[in-house]
Amino acid sequence: MVSVAITEDRIDDWIFDVPRNPDAGAELLFTGLVRDSEKGEHIRALVYEHYAGMAEKELERIGREVIGRFGIHGLHCIHRVGSIPVGEAAIVVLVRSKHRDAAFKAMSRFMDELKKTVPVWKIGFESTGG
């Protein structure tokens, strides 16, 4: 099972409303946070934009690919766009699998491919001005 979404809403406490598989022995949750610096400058927020429709399709494609490749039970992803303040989540990903090794490999592959192919871009940042 794959589910993906892109939102401008805060996702820090995101709960994926997906049933657990009784065969799943591993549940891996990754939260990518906005750091307080970008290109050596202190920042207040990062700004992301995306190619609506295409970004979701690509996230779903990568999710299906890692499910097939690593035999995981599910991958669920929500990516935030717009202005995201320091300390808040830009992405949350949940992977469930029978064993932890597959979950870690699937998560790593998903994040690597996301960075390469999904049309979501950091277009700038809001400086702290100091």
Q: Could you count the other beta carbons within 10 Å of the beta carbon of residue 78? A: 19
Residue 116 DSSP SS3: helix
Picking from 7, 15, 107, 92, the residue whose alpha carbon sits closest to that of residue 48 is 7
Q: Class of the 2-12+22-127 domain?
A: alpha beta
What global pTM score does this model have? Answer: 0.94
Q: Where are any strands of DSSP class E within 8-101?
A: 26-33, 37-38, 41-50, 74-80, 82-85, 89-97
pLDDT digits (tens, 9 = 90+) for 95-125: 999 999 999 999 999 999 999 999 999 998 8
Q: Where are the domains of the chain?
A: 2-12+22-127
pLDDT digits (tens, 9 = 90+) for 30-74: 999 999 998 888 999 999 999 999 999 999 999 999 999 999 999
Q: Could you count the other beta carbons within 10 Å of the beta carbon of residue 70? A: 21
The residue whose two tokens read 């870690």 is 104
Q: Is 5:56 a contact under the CB 8 Å cutoff?
A: yes
